[in-house]
Structure 1
Amino acid sequence: MTVTLADVAARARVSPATVSRVLNGNYPVAAATRERVLRAVDELDYVLNGPASSLAAATSDLVGVLVNDIADPFFGIMAGAVQTEIGGPEGSARAGCEKLAVICNTGGSPERELTYLTLLQRQRAAAVVLTGGALEDPAHLAAMSAKLGKLVRAGTAVVLCGRPPMPGGEPVLATLAFDNRGGARLLTDHLLGLGHRTIGYVAGPPERTTTRHRLEGHRAALAAAGLGEGQDRLTVHGAYTRSAGYDATVELLAREPELTAVVAANDTVALGVCAALRERGLRIPEDVSVAGFDDLPFAADAGPALTTVRLPLAEAGARAGRLAVGKEAAPEGGVAVVGGVVVVRGSTGRVR
């Protein structure tokens, strides 16, 4: 049975005129109403008919790139590399091969992530690249799996860049998964090798895969050194922001004044860690060593330069772009693990 616009209106509990406004995008609609309508469109698999459908089908040169925060260099670097690659060799478009990249900034919102995927499905996107870690919420994971399945079955190439494979093995084209566990373990091994035994950890939001995997790698290194007990007391969770790093460090020092090192969830968080230490008269690394993760462009210019784990963000983004537009074959089994390396700089030193 064909789903009608009236069916969508009934499911979303709005008028048919409101549904039309949302789908045509030519009239302002409240965000909550818009998301409710798009969710109904998705649930009912509503497809536009007539000229509007033809117009949507004509936009198959569209590639959607989903990021949590485009202002964060972690995502900006990957998104920029994807966009450059889909335009043709060395960024110059070839006739018939050029694609239009649309950057979709979710702000970390699971609802917005699904909304963007619904919009890209309606536009018959040629490909979708999802960057960064995933939200570990069963309901959201189930919704994501269903949505990605619809995209794949409709012919959209789906590439995951910097996030683990989807639970249940949803058949996306390719997954480029960062080895966050391995990188974090190497980083903590570096600190242990410098004699550190009381190491604080400023973790990201607990519901994110990146947070869990990096924390697991850190704790695996500690456990191997016989330091696995009592780590919850030396761990504080927060956002992936400078202010969160600052606040977490204040909390860690209150819990354990004899800290000799702090590992931060990423380089931005590490800047906040350093600021909190300096304000309390502690020298880096003479009193407390600090390490980050990702090797973002500012890490080498921090004072002192930041020891961190370098992830090949630009290379991974470029590869995701090539995979998305068919310039490169998918890795065997559909999954490639992208490793990181520890870059030692002036923010870490031996325990005094």
Structure 2
Amino acid sequence: MGTERRSRGTHEAALTIRDVAERAEVSVATVSRVLAGNYPVAAKTRQRVMRAVRELNYVVNTHARALAGVRTETVAFVLNDVRGPSFSAAAYGVEREANQRGRLCLICTTEGDQERELAFMQLMREQQASAVILIGGVRDDEQYRERYTEIAQGLHAVGSRLVLCGRPSLGADVPATTVEYDNEGGAYAITTNLLANGHRRILYLGGMLEHTTSVGRLLGYHRALADFGVAPDPTLIEHGEFTRVSGYERTRAWLQQGAGRFTAIFAETDMVAAGALAALEDAGVRVPDDISLVGYDDIELASDLRPRLTTVHVPYEELGRTAVRLAIDLKEGRSREGDQHVVLGTHVVVRQSVARLHH
């Protein structure tokens, strides 16, 4: 009778763990153990408790769980903008690996707002998240290193872990995990592909000048030119944003100056390449017959463009999965501090956007 009265009155009074215990005909302690998952309970008893939870539509009081010392382990993924296809692939990798490891995945977009990022970092420190993963290139200066060294140490003090994804290490003495990819090597390989096909005047559509992603890719470009004995032309190097619009506008501006100044374009991202391709098409310039074009990232769009884009494959999903795996393995004692810096490989995906020049 009491149980019926309680279930009928759920709109007037919030359900408690005692209501679940009464419905399942077990003790409050048994319900607590089942919900926490931190103590062995007989399978039939567990099923009875979970059936009662479903029937009553009982929701665990997270504040009560926290007071009892029970908390949900979380992994936080922090990025500027979730709409970018490369970072969304990394987010997918983070979520998949976190789920397999029994962690809840939280995603925070900062839109470049440092105060918002700091507030989220502080929240994750208070929640003692298993890992806080930051992705994307940065301006690697003294201010950046001081700021994130302090963040890494603060997280480490409460048993959390800062993970830097796709950006340089803060140093061996900083308690942070680093998961990079061969950024410079990928740019070297794709530039070599153009050079091996006879191209010498390669327009480089880069990103922000001091951005670590751009710095690495430009180094690879220059190293390939040097190995082929080609003197770099500073006028062929453009800096801008990693967007389709930026790729379109910069390519259009070059075409308006007159044809013949370059035979190929290396766009620093596939999105920039997509913009460049649109500008070339609008100007009646054929790819690859008139101008060859390559990108970087190998997002899904690269194989949807016509012609299909030759580009550098970056394993973004694996980047996200590795970030979670390294941090949790360290936390659970299956890995050592010395294993917390990994560099994943990149490779060129040859498609249809590069033609061989015949001198």
- Report how many residues are paired: 292
**Equivalent position amino acid for 1:223 in 2:** A
**Equivalent position amino acid for 2:250 in 1:** A
Q: CA deviation at 1:60?
A: 5.4
Mean CA deviation greater in 240-249 or 311-320:
311-320
TM-score (norm 1): 0.77
Q: CA deviation at 1:64?
A: 0.8
- Correspondence for 1:113 among 95, 113, 117: 117
Structure 1 residues 142 and 279: alpha-carbon distance in aligned structure 2, compared to 1, 3 A threshold: same
* Structure 2 residue runs without a partner (length 5+): 1-62
Q: How far apart in 1 are the matches of 2:155 and 2:64? A: 19
Name 2:99's counterpart in structure 1.
87
* DSSP-derived class of the 2:238 partner: strand
Name 1:33's counterpart in structure 2.
none
- Correspondence for 2:266 among 252, 263, 271: 263
Does 1:235 pair with 2:237? yes
- 1:41-56 pair list within 5 angstroms: none
- 1:1-20 pair list within 5 angstroms: none
- 1:1-352 pair list within 5 angstroms: 59=71, 61-88=73-100, 98-167=102-171, 169-172=173-176, 174-230=177-233, 232-254=234-256, 257-258=259-260, 259-326=262-329, 329=335, 332-351=338-357
Q: CA deviation at 1:169?
A: 4.5
Structure 1 residues 129 and 344: alpha-carbon distance in aligned structure 2, compared to 1, 3 A threshold: same
Contact 1:129 / 1:324 at 8 angstroms: preserved in 2? Answer: no
**Equivalent position amino acid for 2:73 in 1:** D
Q: CA deviation at 1:130?
A: 1.6
Query: What RMSD in Å do the two structures reach over aligned CA positions?
Result: 2.4
* DSSP-derived class of the 2:77 partner: strand
Contact 1:57 / 1:124 at 8 angstroms: preserved in 2? Answer: no
Structure 1 residues 348 and 131: alpha-carbon distance in aligned structure 2, compared to 1, 3 A threshold: same
**Equivalent position amino acid for 1:341 in 2:** H
Structure 1 residues 57 and 201: alpha-carbon distance in aligned structure 2, compared to 1, 3 A threshold: farther
Mean CA deviation greater in 210-219 or 105-114:
105-114
Structure 1 residues 277 and 79: alpha-carbon distance in aligned structure 2, compared to 1, 3 A threshold: same
Q: How far apart in 2 are the matches of 1:283 and 1:57? A: 65
Please give the per-residue CA displacement for 1:22-59, whole angstroms capped at 9, x wherever unaligned.
xxxxxxxxxxxxxxxxxxxxxxxxxxxxx899569754
Q: How far apart in 2 are the matches of 1:331 and 1:286? A: 51
Structure 1 residues 198 and 129: alpha-carbon distance in aligned structure 2, compared to 1, 3 A threshold: same
Q: CA deviation at 1:68?
A: 2.3
Please give the per-residue CA displacement for 1:117-161, whole angstroms capped at 9, x wherever unaligned.
222112222211122222334323321111111111221022222
* Structure 1 residue runs without a partner (length 5+): 1-50, 89-96
Q: CA deviation at 1:264?
A: 0.6
**Identity score, percent:** 38
Q: How far apart in 1 are the matches of 2:91 and 2:69? A: 24
Please give the per-residue CA displacement for 1:94-133, whole angstroms capped at 9, x wherever unaligned.
xxx5211111112234443333222211222221112222
Structure with max Cα Rg: 2
Q: CA deviation at 1:168?
A: 6.9
Structure 1 residues 56 and 235: alpha-carbon distance in aligned structure 2, compared to 1, 3 A threshold: farther
Contact 1:110 / 1:140 at 8 angstroms: preserved in 2? Answer: no
**Equivalent position amino acid for 2:355 in 1:** G
Please give the per-residue CA displacement for 1:53-95, whole angstroms capped at 9, x wherever unaligned.
956975451211112221111111111111111112xxxxxxx
**Equivalent position amino acid for 2:345 in 1:** G
Q: CA deviation at 1:330?
A: 5.5
TM-score (norm 2): 0.75
Q: How far apart in 2 are the matches of 1:275 and 1:126? A: 44
Q: How far apart in 2 are the matches of 1:114 and 1:241? A: 26
Q: CA deviation at 1:325?
A: 2.5
